[in-house]
Amino acid sequence: MNKKSIVGIVVGLMIATSTVYFVETSEELFEEQDMIKGPFFLVVAIAYIPVAFWMLKSPNSSAPYVVTIAGTIGIIALYAVTRTDAGAIAFGLEHAGKIGHLGMVSKVVQVGVVIGSVWALIQTKKEAWLEHENVTNVRKQ
């Protein structure tokens, strides 16, 4: 699979993740009146969109993939911590051990975002290395 296809899949997964977070935002803000999780979900939903465009606009840059990988792993880790007994003390006991349906969907899609971003990053590095090798070989001739 070529890098353009990989990036297209990753961007699609990022848009799907953003959509799930927008749905979670509406549930938290309007149904549960949670003024901490609702805005957090909104920020995450919005943040995925410009990073996805950044990936599309800078196909030869490693930066958008690194930002996506680090940010998504951070969000997954925060989610995991809030579901443990220790994390529940800080984030609210009502979440300990609970995994909601939207939370599960978002985490599965986010794992896809991370895997795809790692794959695209590897392809970017590989292309840069091949380009360097081609330039070096041309200079030697």
Cβ–Cβ < 8 Å for 48, 18: yes
d(CA 30, CA 110): 24
d(CA 110, CA 103): 10
Cβ–Cβ < 8 Å for 120, 7: yes
Best CA proximity match to 85, nearest among 76, 77, 99, 95 = 95
Q: How deeply is 65 buried, as exposed, middle or buried, from its count of CB atoms within 10 A (0-12, 13-18, 19+)?
A: buried
Q: pTM of the predicted model, to two decimals?
A: 0.86
Number of separate domains in the chain = 1
Tell me if residue 120 falls in helix, strand or coil. helix
Query: For the chain, what percent of residues have pLDDT higher than 70?
Result: 86
| Residues 66-109: tens digit of each pLDDT | 999 999 999 999 888 877 766 666 665 565 556 778 889 999 99
| Residues 102-115: tens digit of each pLDDT | 889 999 999 999 99
Give residue 131's domain range: 3-140
At 17 the pLDDT is 96
